[in-house]
Amino acid sequence: MFTPIKTPKVYDQVIEQIKLKIKSGELKKGDKLPSEREMSESLCVSRTSVREAIKALEVIGLIESRQGAGNFIKTNFDNSLFEPLSVMFMLQESSLKEMYDLRKTLELECGRLASKNIKDNELEHLSAILDRMYQSETEEESLELDIKFHYVIVKSARNVLLTNILEVISQLMDEFIRTSRMQILHTDNSREILLSMHEDLVKALKFRDEKAIQSAMEKHFDLIWKAYGY
């Protein structure tokens, strides 16, 4: 199954061969890897090298170890990159403007795709969330509904890679939405304006109008940025 390895960086080469098997399709999501002994014999390396490679792939979220069952290619990658990305943002001291640009870029594209791919039940879900937003009595509830509203649009884009990227940074984005909304609510009539903008988003999606959804989202993000005094 594998090619014998002759290199000083043995565990790196073990990792590379596993990645090549995934790339070729020989290993797929949910597949079980051979045992450490089998891989060691096939690759002509020590079991320690195989074990180091497996641990490294666990850290980056490619493989999961199941007690008593073995090692498997993961089937769910939602949170695999969250920690490294969040650390990267902290180390680079990412600015509010960078977070704003990230959210705007991703959500505008999601909105464009959602205008083509959203399903009727998702439209109903958005309308139901919007109704609850109008009826909400606490800011905490309103915040949670706002976050749900935006992620329904993200999911309805029907782009797995784009959705996964947003899910990877979901906690960071959620905090950004929370901060943005709090800032907006400090202005006069802001709640009514924000609700009206969400209503425009729902209408644009119902009419499958790509230009309208882009326009509605642009206005929404303009409001967010102006709320910060820019």
Residue range 128-181, pLDDT digits in tens: 999 999 999 887 888 889 889 998 999 999 998 888 777 766 666 666 667 776
Query: If residue 64 lies in a helix (H) or strand (E), which one and from where to where?
Result: strand 63-66
Residue 34: what pLDDT?
Answer: 93
Residue type, 208: R
Intervals of CATH 1.20.120.530 along the chain: 82-227
CATH fold for domain 10-73: Arc Repressor Mutant, subunit A (1.10.10)
Name, in order, each residue with C-beta under 8 angstroms of 100's C-beta and a sequence gap of 6 or more: 176, 221, 224, 225
Instruction: Return mean pLDDT, the chain.
Output: 84
How far the first Cα of the chain sits from its last, in Å, is: 59
Q: Given this model, what pLDDT does residue 115 score?
A: 95
CATH 1.10.10.10, the chain: domain bounds: 10-73
Task: Calculate the alpha carbon distances from 7 to 13, 46, 59 in Å.
Answer: 8, 12, 23
pLDDT of amino acid 98: 81
How many residues are there in the chain?
A: 230
Q: Where are the beta strands (DSSP E) in 85-152?
A: none
What pTM did the predictor assign? 0.69
Q: What is the pLDDT of residue 224?
A: 80
What distance in Å separates the CA atoms of residue 87 and residue 93, rounded to the nearest whole number? 10
The domain defined by 82-227 folds into: Four Helix Bundle (Hemerythrin (Met), subunit A) (1.20.120)
Q: Supply the pLDDT for residue 143.
A: 82
Backbone φ, ψ for residue 152 (5° rounding):
-65, -40
Q: Please report the pLDDT score of residue 163 as a whole number.
A: 81
Enumerate residue ranges in the chain where pLDDT < 50: none
**Is there a contact between 222 and 139 (Cβ–Cβ < 8 Å)?**
no
Question: What integer pLDDT is reported at residue 81 of this predicted model?
Answer: 61
Assess contact for 78 and 60: CB atoms under 8 A. no
pLDDT at position 227, please? 72
